[in-house]
Chain A
Amino acid sequence: SQQGEEDPQALSIQEGENATMNCSYKTSINNLQWYRQNSGRGLVHLILIRSNEREKHSGRLRVTLDTSKKSSSLLITASRAADTASYFCATHGAGSYQLTFGKGTKLSVIP
């Protein structure tokens, strides 16, 4: 069953602005991850946040996790044209080794 679901499906912003993407999921998780995919290519792991963490930073990325609401957000600050890609959240369920992905948010950063 589908676990993560990203929102919005598509987002278009100007270079330099911040981009925020959200993810909701349905069942208990061990961790939640965000991946990036450039058009037609493989996924690249960006950041992982564990179920007992609330916020994590990596460079221009900030991830939050609210397990009570079963939701996460990915913030990309000071966006660049090179950030244009699709972003996926993936959950690693409690007692499971499967990664379950959402449909993704397509981000376009306009120079």
Chain B
Amino acid sequence: ETGVTQTPRHLVMGMTNKKSLKCEQHLGHNAMYWYKQSAKKPLELMFVYSLEERVENNSVPSRFSPECPNSSHLFLHLHTLQPEDSALYLCASSPGVASPEAFFGQGTRLTVV
């Protein structure tokens, strides 16, 4: 256990569905991240939050909408996704955005049909 919990672990959704991924960290960290891991590609940083404020958005399509209501919780709202969005979505946290080490959750395996 890394102290970062993601739910659900697996999700299958249609292209017209709306769903949300949830991440919760119990480490008292101030920074939280969403990464996307596709087959045969490096991990891609999607969003960075520091103290509930978004500080980085790496040109992610608007069909992905993050929300950080407090420093312990992070959501990724999904709507009208495409099959190529199927991937493992990983949440991570760190003490602060300048802290080097990241603690990852187990990920949500998303399949878009």
Q: Chain A interface (Cβ within 8 Å of chain B)?
A: 2, 4, 30-31, 33, 35, 40-45, 48, 88, 90, 92, 97-104
User: Does B100 touch A at the CB level, under 8 Å?
Assistant: yes
| A45 touching B107, Cβ below 8 Å | no
B49-92 vs A: 1/0 string, CB under 8 Å?
Answer: 00000001000000000000000000000000000000010101
In Å, the complex CA distance between A90 and B45 comes to 12
12 example contacts (A-B, Cβ-Cβ < 8 A) are as follows A33-B100, A41-B107, A42-B4, A42-B90, A42-B105, A42-B107, A45-B102, A90-B43, A97-B97, A99-B45, A100-B45, A103-B40
> Would you call B101 and A42 a contact (CB within 8 A)?
no
- Assuming A42-B104, A97-B31, what are 8 further A-B pairs, CB within 8 angstroms? A30-B100, A35-B104, A43-B104, A45-B103, A97-B48, A99-B102, A102-B42, A103-B42
Q: For chain B, which range describes its interface: under 10, 10 to 19, 20 to 34, or 35 or more residues? A: 20 to 34
CA of A102 to CA of B42, assembled, Å: 5
Contact in complex: B45, A98 (CB < 8 Å): yes
Nearest Cβ on chain B to A87's Cβ, whole angstroms? 13
Given contacts A42-B90, A44-B104, contact A98 B4 (CB under 8 A): no
Give the shortest distance, in Å, between B56 (CB) and chain A (any CB).
7
Q: Tell me the minimal C-beta distance from A85 to chain B in angstroms.
A: 13
A33 touches B2 (CB 8 A): no
Is the pair A40, B100 in contact by a Cβ cutoff of 8 Å? no
One of A30, A40, A98 near B56 (C-beta < 8 A): A98
B100: chain A residues within 8 A (beta carbon): 30-31, 33, 48, 92, 99
* Contact in complex: B40, A45 (CB < 8 Å): no
B39 nearest CB across to chain A (Å)? 10
In the assembly, what is the distance between CA of A58 and CA of B31, in Å?
26
- Report the nearest A residue to B44, measured CB to CB: A101
In the bound assembly, the distance between CA atoms of A103 and B37 in angstroms comes to 10
Q: Which residues of A contact B40 (CB under 8 A)?
A: 103
Please indicate the chain B residues that have their CB under 8 angstroms from the CB of A40 in the complex. Answer: 88, 107, 109
Q: Which among A42, A97, A99, A102 is the interface contact of B106 at CB below 8 angstroms? A: A42
